Chain A
Amino acid sequence: MISLAELGVLRDVRLLDGGRTAEVELTPTYTGCPALEAMAEDIRRALHTADPRLARVSVRTVLSPPWSTDDITEEGRRKLAAAGIAPPRRPGPARGPVPVALAIRCPRCGSTDTELISRFSSTACKALRRCRTCREPFDHVKEV
């Protein structure tokens, strides 16, 4: 299971009032991410469970700087692939005269012979692809 920190959406956690209040900053992957409220609820529950002395947990949504797929940690990328979701490609070196699109690897069989079916999949942050080798469709976290 990928954590919010590994996904790069957890920006800050602060303890105030001598540890009675927690302030959390959360950023959405996409502006309209419908999972944001569920994430905020999970954070509140996790913090209250971890520390029963907490009287208040406030989760604030921040937009700036915008989330990027580069914010996903190495461990996060590994867990995405293990869950059958192709992680975003890494940022390339400084852009040369000819843009080269790196192949996207099938998370099931490892083949790089994959094709795009749709730029938008089950959620806005993923594209739908198909592996030409093992024929399985899979989600790919598209780069932003």
Chain B
Amino acid sequence: MSAVAAALPLADDALVLSHRLAEWLGHAPELEEELALANISLDLLGQARACYALLGDEDALAYRREEREFRNLQLVEQPNGDFAHTITRQLFFSVWQELLFGRVTGTGPPAAVAAKAVKETAYHRDHAEQWTLRLGDGTEESHRRTQRAVDALWRYTGELFQPLEGLDIAMEPLRRDWRARIGDILARATLTMPEGPDADAWSAGAGRQGVHTESFGRMLAEMQHLHRSHPGAVW
């Protein structure tokens, strides 16, 4: 299988998380943070576009596929929740993405996107890490909310380590590295690493197989509405 096969799940991860982060516009706790979330969203949108360009028409891929055709992780489609929830989702994802992109080798098209994006991802991870430390080791309230987010999102982290078709990357060492990095950050943030399962017992496959959680359909409906109502609309 050619390496291009990996472009679809990687693009869908980036597009969906980009859209979730963009939902913060106008609602972020402060202006600087709004800019930061918008910038990270834009980086992810750029990754998605670079990957979709390898596969076909980007608008058709983003706006005209049904829920079951998306191959993104369930983690990235989770609703924003409160700020701690958004930051925890970002921490879990960006630590994984930085480790993954650092391992993509070769000169094929997805490798060029990974080599480019890994530098940006390091800033995303740093942003999420600094916020996790500040929230976890902050007030009683921020600690409580961040621990709640860590516990609630943990069940979606097992999926990060499913093999990606087309990428020859051993996922068990990646999982060990991810857990070590996350464990270290959580410990410094005075948070507790969850001990429960990192995948839901009921999930029949998961995002990589096109099985998504309830809120994803609503997100897609909003994201695709304009293009489906006014195909080819530009401004």
* Interface residues of A, Cβ cutoff 8 Å to B: 28, 30-34, 63-68, 117-124, 128, 142, 144
Contacts and interface: CB of A to CB of B under 8 A. Distances in A.
A40 B32 CA distance: 30
Q: Which of A28, A120, A124, A128 gathers most chain B CB within 10 Å? A: A120
Interface stretch (B33-41, B74-82, B83-91, B157-165): B33-41
B33 A118 contact: yes
Given A32-B45, A120-B127, A63 B50 contact: yes
B127 A119 contact: yes
20 contacts: A30-B42, A30-B120, A31-B46, A31-B116, A31-B120, A32-B45, A32-B47, A63-B112, A64-B111, A66-B115, A66-B119, A118-B36, A119-B36, A119-B123, A119-B126, A119-B127, A120-B36, A120-B123, A121-B35, A144-B120
Contacts of B43: 30-32, 124
Contacts of B215: none
Q: Is the interface of B mostly helix, strand, loop or mixed?
A: helix
A120 B46 contact: no
B17 interface: no
Nearest to A143: B119
Given A120-B123, A144-B119, 16 more contacts: A30-B42, A31-B47, A31-B120, A32-B43, A63-B113, A63-B115, A63-B116, A64-B111, A67-B116, A68-B119, A119-B126, A121-B35, A122-B35, A123-B39, A124-B40, A144-B123
B229 interface: no
B208 interface: no
B120 to A, nearest CB: 6
A44 B126 CA distance: 38
Contacts of A30: 42-43, 46, 120
